[in-house]
Amino acid sequence: MKRIHLFILSLFLGFFSACQEEIPVATVFESPEWTVYLGSDSSIPFFPDGHSNYFTYSFQRTKQDSFMVRLKGIYPHARYLSITVYDNATGNPLTRIKDVDLDPYPGSVNPFVEGNYMPDQSYELVLLPSHLEMAGFSNVIEFDSSVTNLSVFIRYYLPREDSLGGVNLPQIAAFQPSGEQIIAPEALELSNFISQEDILARIESLKTLLFGVELDSTRQFFRPTADQSGLYANIDNDYLVSPLTLSNNEVVLLRWKAPSVAGHFANFHRDVRYYSLSISDVFSFNYATQSDEQLYIASDGFINLVICKSDSAVMAHSTGLNYLQWPSGLVGDEAILLYRNMLTKPNLDHAITSCTSVTDDILGVLTNPAAFDATVYMGEFAPTGKKMTKQAFFDNFGGIEVSY
């Protein structure tokens, strides 16, 4: 409970900005400070990807407020950038702008559109209530005026050079519709809007559903409706999750065909921009992530991944395969495996979105979980596999034909 409390005191971060030359650069008022959350930090909940970093700005407003908030930033050196606005009352996203849609400031270019990184390229973005009729802004995030508790998240996936993608965090300023600069809203902790009970309730429902359908040996992955989960999901990610109870004498072997990936910026001819597999505890703290850069693809196009508690013999027998050790900090025998696909190519026949969501038919999942298994919809592109004893793993990989 202490870890959850510490986490709530520092949850995700957000950001705002605008793109109109008439609005002056913020020089009078100090911008609210950004809080940095690294995906590799196991004290951050809500199933963060271990190779993504989050920067959040949370604030409160009234329904009558008409001020706008502007972000002035520099495109990071990273695989992916997005700006997402969330309603803290629900923990669900309202809207977002992703990197390729974020128009550059005059005189700059967008490196995500160009396809290669160029330093010192800048952008502006404005966040404003939808009742304002403002023209001339290139990058705009609108939200319904009835929303009074907001969080804005910046996300960088696979940042290069450092955790900030080699750039400073954006400057934040606030303005009236007339252009008059005002003091930006005070940056608040998410604990002002979300209680510990709220977080635990949102996670508990997912945990109860998943472990209610866990099979003894076959590994099944299911698709949740992540953007309505209340877990501050990334709109650009599609998710598959799988419950895992693992004893000291057991090994899990997963196998799936790797989607093609845009290894840098915007390659629209690839299946996805990014993919990864993470292992989290049942409270949604992430302990380990292997990204597409780390997962070895065998000669037949498949990924073979072994998961086990610390065992040198199992590790040795996994030579030539991918190996993910049960994290030492993870308490107990229960975990949740999470497979991500980011920015999936439109109309991809083996997209995660082709799967029926388990959160849309809970009774159906509990009575017939096999019908919701991702392999039914995605075929060999969905992770599947088996939990087995260590001896079965040593004998013949539990009957699974692995590839190198």
Cα(343)–Cα(337) distance, integer angstroms: 20
Q: How far does Cα 122 stand from its chain's mean position?
A: 24
Cα(80)–Cα(343) distance, integer angstroms: 10
**Integer distance in angstroms from the first to the last C-alpha of the chain?**
43
- Reported as a pLDDT band with limits 50, 70 and 90, residue 231 is confident
* Per-residue pLDDT reduced to its tens digit, 319-357: 999 999 999 888 789 999 999 999 999 999 999 999 999
The CA distances from residue 353 to 222, 344, 348, 393, in Å, are 11, 9, 9, 33
* Per-residue pLDDT reduced to its tens digit, 121-170: 999 999 999 888 766 778 999 999 999 999 999 999 999 999 999 998 89
The pTM of this model reads 0.88
Instruction: Find out whether 82 and 96 touch, Cβ atoms under 8 Å.
Output: yes
pLDDT over 60 (residue 43): yes
Q: What does DSSP assign to residue 269?
A: T
Structure confidence at residue 209 (pLDDT): 82
pLDDT over 50 (residue 186): yes
Cα(310)–Cα(295) distance, integer angstroms: 19
By C-alpha distance, which of 215, 236, 254 is closest to 368? 215
* Per-residue pLDDT reduced to its tens digit, 347-401: 999 999 999 998 888 888 888 889 999 999 999 999 999 999 999 999 999 999 9
| Domain architecture of the chain: domains with CATH | 2-192 (2.60.120), 196-399 (no CATH)
